[in-house]
C-alpha cells in the first residue's frame, strides 16, 4: 500500500514515516523545508521526498494521504486532495488504526517532561528485553532515533495535547487508546488553540475515557489541575507519584535536599526499592523517573530492574544537552520554552554548578510565548541566572525589554542573532555556563557561539 505523508519532516510525522516503512508500506512525502537531518534519515529508509505542497505530487494517486497538522486549507495539495475525493487521514488516526490497535500502548501526557519520560520508559522496557516500539518527540541517547516499530505487544508514545489536523481539532492523544497512561503535570499552554486551562483539562478528561478499566493511570499526585481532571471522571486504576510523597502517593523519592538530584532513592508504598545514580540533573527528572518506573511496572517490569535501566539512561538530545566547551565556557542546549520548564531547568543547573556563573539565553519561540501569554512570569522563571539574554525578533508581538525589566541590568534584549552571538562571545569568560533555551533551531546559535569562542580563545 502506498501512503503519502504531507508535512513529513516534522519529528512526529517523520516518525510516522519510519514506522510505516518498517511495517511494509511504500512511503513518500513532502514538506516545505526538506533538509537534514530528517531528510537524510528518511531518504536512508528509501522514502522519496518532495519539496513543497504542489498538487502535482498526488499523481500517481497514493492509496492513502496522511495529513500533518501543519497543513491548512488553501494549500494546493490540500485543495486537490479534497476536490478529487481522495482518501486521507491524520497522522494520529493512521498510527492508531495501522499500528496501535493490536498493541499495549503506554502513553505519556502532560505539559512538561513527555519526551524525557517516554524515553526513560522505552529504555526500561528495552533493557528488560521487551523490544518496544516507540514514537517520541526527541531522540533518546540510548536509541539514537525517535521512532521504531518494535515488537509486540508494547508501544510507547509521547501523547501530545496539540490538535490533530485541520479537519480534526481534538487533541492528538485521544486517538491512542492507552492501556497504561502517565499524566506528568498540567499547566496552561498552546494559547493558539486553547482559550484557557479548562479547555485543556477537558481534552485530558476525554483521554481518561479511552483508558480501559483494566488499565492503569500513573498521575502526578502533587498537581492540582490533574486532580481536577481525575475528579471529573475516572474508570481505571490510579497510582500517584510525587518526589516528596504525600497522602495517597504510592511512588516517592528520597534525595539530598541541597543536591542536584543526580542520586536519589526510589520508594514504592514507603519501601526502598533501590537508588538511581545518573548524569541527569534537576528535581523534575526525579518525577519523570518515578512516572517511568511506575508505568514499566504496570507492563510487568520489576521496579528494581527498572532502576538498573535508569542507571544507564543517557538522556535525550536537546534536554540539558552539553553541546560543547570552548574557551572554558560550557554551552548547553535545552528545549525549555514554558516558564515552569525554564525555572526547573535553571534550578537543576544551579544545583549542579553551585556559584559558577550561569548565562541564560532564551528564544521565546512557541506560539504561546509569541502571543505574550507568559511574559509576566519570565522574570521569576529566569531569576536563578546571573545574566539573561533574550532574542526578540521584530515579529514578536510584545515588549520583551519591558517584560524582563524587573531583572534590572542582568537582562539584555536583542533583535539580531549575529549581534547576540557577538555579545555573548565578548562577555562570556572561562568557567561560565551558557544555557540556550528554545523549542526550535534558534538559528544555529549553539554552534555559532562555540565557533566564536574557540576563535577568541580563553580570557
pLDDT at 457 over 80: no
pLDDT of residue 222: 96
Write down the pLDDT at residue 339: 92
Percent of the chain whose predicted confidence (pLDDT) is above 90: 86
Mean of all residue pLDDT scores within the chain: 95
* C-beta of residue 19 within 8 angstroms of C-beta of residue 147: yes
Which residue has 494521504 as its cell numbers?
Answer: 65
Q: pLDDT tens for residues 148-198?
A: 999 999 999 999 999 999 999 999 999 999 999 999 999 999 888 999 999
The secondary element (H helix, E strand) that includes residue 29 is strand 26-31
State the average pLDDT over residues 69-93: 98
395 pLDDT band, cuts 50/70/90, is confident
| Owner of C-alpha cell 502526578 | 220
Question: Can you list the alpha helix ranges (DSSP code H) found in 148-220?
Answer: 197-208
pLDDT tier at 245 (50, 70, 90 boundaries)?
confident
Spatial contact of 284 and 352, defined as CB atoms under 8 Å apart:
no
Predicted pLDDT of residue 416: 93
The packing angle between helices 303-310 and 283-298, to 10°, is: 140
Write down how long the chain is.
459
What 424-429 contacts at long range (C-beta under 8 Å, 24+ apart), as own/partner pairs, is 424/359, 424/361, 424/389, 424/449, 424/452, 425/449, 425/452, 425/453, 425/456, 426/456, 427/359, 427/387, 428/327, 428/329, 428/359, 428/453, 429/328, 429/329, 429/357, 429/459
Omega cis (within 30) before 153? yes
Per-residue pLDDT tens digits for 347-364:
999 999 999 999 999 999
Proportion of the chain in helix, strand, coil states, percent, rounded to 5: 35, 25, 40
Least confident range of 36-45, 219-228, 247-256, 320-329: 36-45
Tens digit of pLDDT for each residue in 228-242?
999 999 999 999 999
For residues 424-442, give the mean pLDDT: 94
Q: Which domains does the chain carry?
A: 2-90 (3.40.50.720), 99-310 (3.40.1190.10), 321-456 (3.90.190.20)
Q: 3-class SS at 15?
A: helix
How many Å apart are CA 297 and CA 49, to the nearest integer? 40
Question: In the chain, pLDDT over 70 holds for what percent of residues?
Answer: 100
**Cα 27 from Cα 382, distance rounded (Å):** 44
CB 180 within 8 A of CB 104: yes
Can you tell me the distance from the alpha carbon of 148 to that of 281, in angstroms, rounded to the nearest whole number? 27
Say if residue 203's pLDDT is above 90: yes
Is the Cβ–Cβ distance between 108 and 121 less than 8 Å? Answer: yes
CA distances from 228 to 220, 231, 288 (A): 12, 5, 21
Amino acid at each position: 500500500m502506498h501512503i503519502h505523508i504531507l508535512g513529513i519532516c516534522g519529528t512526529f510525522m517523520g516518525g510516522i514515516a519510519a514506522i510505516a516503512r518498517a511495517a511494509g508500506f511504500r512511503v513518500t512525502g513532502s514538506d516545505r523545508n526538506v533538509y537534514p537531518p530528517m531528510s537524510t534519515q528518511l531518504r536512508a529508509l528509501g522514502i522519496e521526498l518532495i519539496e513543497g505542497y504542489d498538487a502535482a505530487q498526488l499523481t500517481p494517486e497514493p492509496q492513502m494521504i496522511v495529513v500533518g497538522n501543519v497543513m491548512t486549507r488553501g494549500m494546493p495539495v490540500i485543495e486537490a486532495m479534497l476536490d478529487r475525493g481522495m482518501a486521507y487521514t491524520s497522522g494520529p488516526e493512521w498510527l492508531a488504526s495501522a499500528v496501535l490497535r493490536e498493541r499495549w500502548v503506554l502513553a505519556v501526557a502532560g505539559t512538561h517532561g513527555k519526551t524525557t519520560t517516554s524515553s526513560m520508559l522505552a529504555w526500561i522496557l528495552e533493557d528488560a528485553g521487551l523490544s518496544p516500539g516507540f514514537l517520541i518527540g526527541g531522540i533518546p541517547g540510548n536509541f539514537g532515533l525517535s521512532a521504531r516499530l518494535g515488537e509486540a505487544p508494547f508501544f510507547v508514545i509521547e501523547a501530545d495535547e496539540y490538535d490533530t489536523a485541520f479537519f480534526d481539532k481534538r487533541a492528538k492523544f485521544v486517538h491512542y487508546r492507552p492501556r497504561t497512561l502517565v499524566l506528568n503535570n498540567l499547566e496552561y499552554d498552546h494559547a493558539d488553540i486553547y482559550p484557557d486551562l479548562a479547555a485543556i483539562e477537558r481534552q485530558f478528561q476525554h483521554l481518561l475515557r479511552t483508558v480501559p478499566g483494566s488499565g492503569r493511570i500513573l498521575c502526578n499526585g502533587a498537581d492540582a489541575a490533574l486532580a481536577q481532571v481525575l475528579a471529573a471522571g475516572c474508570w481505571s486504576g490510579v497510582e500517584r507519584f510525587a518526589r516528596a510523597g504525600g497522602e495517597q502517593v504510592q511512588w516517592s523519592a528520597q534525595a539530598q535536599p541541597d543536591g542536584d538530584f543526580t542520586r536519589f532513592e526510589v520508594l514504592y508504598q514507603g519501601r526502598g526499592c533501590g537508588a538511581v545514580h545518573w548524569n541527569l540533573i534537576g528535581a523534575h527528572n526525579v518525577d519523570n523517573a518515578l512516572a517511568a518506573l511506575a508505568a514499566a511496572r504496570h507492563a510487568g517490569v520489576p521496579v528494581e530492574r527498572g532502576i538498573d535501566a535508569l542507571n544507564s539512561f543517557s538522556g535525550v538530545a536537546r534536554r540539558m544537552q552539553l553541546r560543547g566547551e570552548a574557551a572554558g565556557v560550557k554551552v548547553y542546549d535545552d528545549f525549555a520554552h514554558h516558564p515552569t520548564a525554564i525555572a526547573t531547568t535553571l534550578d537543576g543547573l544551579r544545583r549542579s554548578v553551585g556559584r559558577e556563573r550561569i548565562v541564560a539565553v532564551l528564544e521565546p519561540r512557541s506560539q504561546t510565548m509569541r502571543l505574550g501569554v507568559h511574559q509576566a512570569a519570565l522574570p521569576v522563571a529566569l531569576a536563578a541566572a546571573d545574566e539573561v539574554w533574550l532574542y526578540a525578533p521584530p515579529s514578536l508581538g510584545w515588549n520583551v525589554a519591558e517584560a524582563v525589566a524587573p531583572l534590572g541590568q542582568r537582562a539584555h534584549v536583542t533583535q539580531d542573532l549575529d549581534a547576540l552571538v557577538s555579545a555573548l562571545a565578548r562577555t562570556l569568560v572561562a568557567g561560565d555556563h551558557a544555557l540556550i533555551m528554545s523549542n526550535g533551531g534558534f538559528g544555529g546559535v549553539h554552534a555559532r557561539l562555540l565557533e566564536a569562542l574557540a576563535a577568541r580563545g580563553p580570557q
